[in-house]
Amino acid sequence: MYFFLSNLSLADISFISTTVPRFIVDIQTHSRVISYEGCLTQMSFFILFACMDDMLLTVMAYDRCVAICHPLHYQLIMNPRHCCFFISMSFLVSLLHSQVQNLIGSQFTCFKDVDISNFFCDPSLLLNLSCSETLTNNIVMYFFLAIFGFLPFLVIFFSYYKILSSILRVPSSDGMYKAFSTGGSHLSVVCLFYGTALSAYLSSTVSQSPRKDVVASVMYTVVTPMLNPFIYSLRNRDIKRAMWRFLSEKNLILIPLPPI
């Protein structure tokens, strides 16, 4: 689990780094101009690390499913060789998706002096701004989005279906709580990731307010990756005890520290 967590943290840091540094520079310089090549580069890395996040969450769902449903075979199934294979395949699939979308973006024309109603080069917004024929590009783009968005979601859904079935068969309440806590953090991160992503793209489709689109994009690209380490850290007993001690010292809570 911690091996996958370290890779997820690296993907989150890279994901934020594709948009936030440029956003901060634009605020400092009061400039909102980006070159066509810079926009394609940003879009390529944005898709790469967003897809990498999605793939890693899918692999982690499978990992939690094996840990809960087949605990005696966990070390055999999720051995270091298989874990490295899953990480490598996640990166290669994400790279393929990124390059396909970048190839589609490189065929867009008429991008001189256009306004992007966001703080980064969103692929869906770029497609709508192009004045070239976009039907074929639309079909290809949404086909790949369906594959790399819907299929991982199905794997995660099926994994948690198996996890829930196994938890309900546990006779003791302590065993059920332990099994649920094993996948609780990951489930929270998955809901946060897919919830903010869907809200960002649905708001851009339904709403015509650029301000709401930017707020939804900030939640998806900045807030969610920042919250992931905190969500997983709350499973660590040492961190929980340190947090409770800090809150007690500040007189924010009057509840005794939880037992080790």
Structure tokens at 74: 């966990």
Query: Rounded to an integer, what distance in angstroms lies between the CA atom of residue 163 and that of residue 167?
Result: 6
How confident is the model over 58-117, as pLDDT tens digits? 999 899 888 888 888 888 888 999 999 999 999 998 898 888 877 777 766 555 566 676
Residue 227 near residue 192 (C-beta atoms within 8 A) = yes
Q: Is the pLDDT of residue 17 over 90?
A: no
Alpha-helical regions (H) of 18-35? 20-29
Give the residue extent of every domain in the chain. Answer: 2-249
Return the CATH number of the domain spanning residue range 2-249.
1.20.1070.10
Whole-prediction pTM: 0.79
Measured from the Cβ of residue 52, the count of other Cβ atoms closer than 10 Å reads: 25
| Cα–Cα distance for residue pair 260/128, rounded to 1 Å | 55
Mean pLDDT, rounded, of the chain: 76
The pLDDT of residue 85 is: 93
Give the C-alpha distances (Å, rounded to integers) separating 54 from 15, 80, 212.
12, 21, 24
Phi and psi at residue 209, to the nearest 5°: -95, 115
Whether residue 42 contacts residue 34, with contact meaning beta carbons closer than 8 Å, is answered with yes
Q: Is 235:178 a contact under the CB 8 Å cutoff?
A: no
The 10s digit of each residue's pLDDT in 137-162 is: 667 667 777 777 788 888 888 988 88
